[in-house]
């Protein structure tokens, strides 16, 4: 079975866009401190690392799926230059209320479940918004909030590195 760490993207891996805006191209994508190291650490501890990201800017016509793919290709290139990788990327490109995959719905998690035999007792969702935590709980895995608001998450910290270190400690218990 696979131990999976689900990561939100904006605000977890990279700096968030301004309110009501989106990361529309690679120039607008900036890794948060230590996120590459944190992903590397999770890779090395045997976790499958997957991205689950709402990208409503596509439904709103502010960017295309191709624009998003180019951002993700660049992100993976940068990660691999440091020996890290994200195993799979699941995107909800839809508008609010029009699908079953936009978090807090769990369609993206179910897509992952189609591809991996997920050990939910050893899997985690790391996010910076309440919808991430709600989705992780609904899917039945541990949840970690990294923006200083707990939202009822199992653990509350301030960076992906702190989240990764906590996950590894939990697994060593």
Residues that bind Zn ion (CB under 5 A): 92, 94, 99, 101-102
**One of 8, 67, 128, 156 is an active-site residue; which one?**
8
24 or 103: whose CB is closer to Zn ion?
A: 103
102 or 122: whose CB is closer to Zn ion?
A: 102
Beta strands in the chain (DSSP E): 4-7, 48-54, 88-92, 124-127, 142-145, 155-156
- The token pair that represents 162 in the structure block: 């702190």
Could you tell me the strand order of the sheet in which 142-145 lies? 88-92, 48-54, 4-7, 124-127, 142-145, 155-156
Q: What is the CA radius of gyration of the chain?
A: 15
CB 9, CB 29: distance < 8 Å: no
Reduced to 3 states (helix: H, G, I; strand: E, B; else coil), residue 66 is: helix
Active site residue 10: yes
99 or 110: whose CB is closer to Zn ion?
A: 99
CB of 75 to Zn ion, least distance (A): 20
CB of 133 to Zn ion, least distance (A): 18
In b/e form, how buried is each residue of 11-27, taking b as 16+ CB within 10 angstroms? bbbbebeeeeebbbeee
**One of 10, 67, 128, 132 is an active-site residue; which one?**
10
38 or 92: whose CB is closer to Zn ion?
A: 92
CB of 1 to Zn ion, least distance (A): 27
CB of 154 to Zn ion, least distance (A): 25
Active site residue ranges = 8, 10
């Amino acid at each position: 079975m696979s131990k999976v760490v689900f990561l939100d993207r904006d605000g977890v891996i990279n700096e968030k866009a301004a309110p009501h805006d989106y990361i529309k191209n690679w120039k607008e994508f900036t890794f948060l401190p230590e996120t590459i190291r944190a992903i590397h650490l999770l890779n090395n501890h045997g976790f499958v690392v997957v991205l689950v990201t709402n990208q409503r800017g596509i439904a709103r016509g502010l960017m295309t799926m191709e624009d998003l793919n180019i951002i993700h290709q660049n992100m993976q290139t940068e990660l691999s230059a440091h020996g890290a990788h994200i195993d799979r990327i699941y995107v909800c490109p839809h508008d609010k209320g029009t699908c079953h995959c936009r978090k807090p719905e769990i369609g993206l998690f179910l897509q992952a479940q189609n591809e991996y035999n997920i050990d939910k007792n050893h899997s985690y969702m790391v996010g910076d918004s309440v919808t991430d935590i709600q989705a992780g709980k609904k899917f039945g895995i541990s949840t970690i909030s990294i923006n200083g608001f707990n939202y009822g998450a199992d653990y509350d910290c301030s960076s992906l590195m702190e989240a990764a270190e906590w996950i590894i400690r939990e697994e060593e218990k």
